[in-house]
Each structure stands twice: as C-alpha cells, then as structure tokens.
Amino acid sequence: MDLVKFVHHYEKKTKEMRLAELEEDYRCKNGAPHIEVRSGILIHGAHVYTNKMFRFFQKELMGGIGVRMKEVFSDNELCIYEAVEEGRQRVYEVKFHSLTFDVSCSCKLFESMGMLCRHTLKVFDLKNLTSIPEHYILKRWTKDAKKGIFMSCDKYAQSSENEKSLQSLRLSELMHEGSNVYNIASLSDLGTKIVKGKLAKALRLLEQDMETINLLEGLKTVNVQPVGDIFNTTPILNPPTAKTKGLTNTRLKNNLEKRKRKATKDMNV
C-alpha cells in the first residue's frame, strides 16, 4: 500500500469511527439501556454510565448473587467481610466505612479499571444502598465524559500571564466543543442550518465587542500567516523514488537464458 492509498484508507476508517462514536453518543443520551431487575442502584447506574459501561456494571451487580459474604470484623465505623464466589476457593477481603461510604476490595478492580466489583456491590446491597456513592463514579465512564474536559481559562490565568498560552487554551476548548457540535449538525440539513445561523449570530456579536476589536487591531501589526493559507496546503503525494546506482529497469535473466547466451557466444567465436 503506497502513501496516498494509506492516507485515504486512514481517513475512511477515521470517518467510520467518528460516525460510530456519534451514534453511540446519541443512543446514550436519547435511550435507556435494558435493566435486568428493578433496583435503585441499577437505575442510578443506567442514568450516569454510558450504555457499554452500564452493561459491565450490571453484569458485576448480578454476579454478586453468587458471592457469599462473611463478616469478620465490625464496629461503629468499619466493617470487614470475606467474600467467596460460588465454585471458587479464593477469598477476597472487603472493607466498608459506614460514615464515608468508602469501600475497598482485595481484587483491586476499581483501582485498575475504575469500576466497582461484584464484591463491593454485594456489600452495598447488604448495607441497603440504593445509589452509587459519587466518589466511585469516574467521569470517563459517564455520559457527560466529553463535557468540560479542558481546564477553565480563568483558573489558568491565575498560574500564567502568557497571553499566547491563554489563547491556545481558549482555542483548544472552542475547537473541542465545536467539533462535537459540527459532527452532530452535519448529520442533517436542518442541523447544519441551525449551526450556521448561530455562528453568524455569534460573529456579529464578536464584531460588536470592543475588546475583540482592539485585539484584532493589535494583531494587524504582527506578521501572522493568513488563516486561508493554513488550509491551502500541498496535497499529499507519494515520495519521489531514487534510482539505485547500477540498477537497470531490464528484467533479470534466468539461468537457462544465461546458458543459451553463453553457448551462442562460443559458436560465434
């Protein structure tokens, strides 16, 4: 596969992955996953987790049915259990703090993956918890994982006075938010019209903003590459090939052809 074909193949696969991601985001935000049993903690999980992570969460919760718990220590604050899965001999130690709802398990699933294991969920069931403690819901597994990824510009301003860095941070944040909007809007003509209308309105507001006008006036004195030139890039072509010294384009002769040629030379002599 040459370079041009590779780039086209890469762009095609990237487009397919982006479309699949958009479809999954749409299903997460506009549909509800199938819940095996009516349970408060399952309903809470379906509300916060993506569909894929909820299926994993529900599998772990239902797997807790086959976990046998034995309380080995208890006081006003701390409870320690030994958990054994039916048909297995390995013993897991689960610690639960009643005041803070902190829980830990020796299987270390939460530490490695960020999802609660069936042993800890079994303890939650014993303690009659009907929702997942907030500090055990990692944002990267939630439906809102894409929201607010970038650090606030105001917070960044407190740690740096470099205006160029601030502009880069603001641009990254706008590009991230805009990319999500554009991907969804491009799926339909109506969505495209809505976004184009809002962008035109936003541009008019920016043109009326005196602070933006003053900054643009200041940029005119700086030698900056025009925005249009950034997109007028040279198309990607295959790299030029260099001819190896001493190598010809003629086909290499096999041994039979070489013997025939040698015999002909001998006859001519």
Report the sign of the C-alpha dihedral through residues 18, 20, 21, 23, in that order.
Answer: positive
> Is residue 41 within 8 Å of residue 62, measured between CB atoms?
no
**Residue range 202-221: mean pLDDT, rounded:** 72
Most confident residue range from 21-25, 54-58, 184-188, 249-253: 54-58
What SS3 state is found at 76? Answer: coil
Binned at pLDDT 50, 70 and 90, residue 185 comes out as confident
For residue 225 the two structure tokens come to 């590459």
Report how far residue 69's alpha carbon sits from residue 94's, in angstroms, rounded to the nearest whole number: 9
> Is residue 153 within 8 Å of residue 169, measured between CB atoms?
yes
> Is residue 64 within 8 Å of residue 121, measured between CB atoms?
yes
Give the pLDDT confidence score for residue 22 in this predicted structure: 75
In sequence order, the 6+-apart residues with CB closer than 8 A to the CB of 77 are: 97, 98, 99
Helix and strand tally (H, E) in the chain?
A: 11, 4
Query: Exposed, middle or buried, 183 (CB in 10 Å: 0-12/13-18/19+)?
Result: middle
Give the pLDDT confidence score for residue 238 in this predicted structure: 67
Question: In terms of residues, how long is the chain?
Answer: 269
Encode pLDDT of 219-258 as tens digits. 655 544 554 554 555 666 666 666 666 666 666 677 777 7
Binned at pLDDT 50, 70 and 90, residue 163 comes out as low
What SS3 state is found at 188? Answer: coil
Report how far residue 226's alpha carbon sits from residue 143's, in angstroms, rounded to the nearest whole number: 38
Can you say how many angstroms the Cα of residue 69 is from the centroid of all Cα atoms in its chain?
37
pLDDT surpassing 80 at residue 189: yes
Q: Where are the domains of the chain?
A: 40-141, 153-223
* Alpha-carbon distances of 5 from 9, 213, 232, 241, rounded to whole Å: 6, 45, 21, 17
Q: What is the pTM of this model?
A: 0.55
pLDDT surpassing 70 at residue 217: no
Report how far residue 93's alpha carbon sits from residue 95's, in angstroms, rounded to the nearest whole number: 7
In sequence order, the 6+-apart residues with CB closer than 8 A to the CB of 79 are: 71, 73, 95, 96, 98, 123
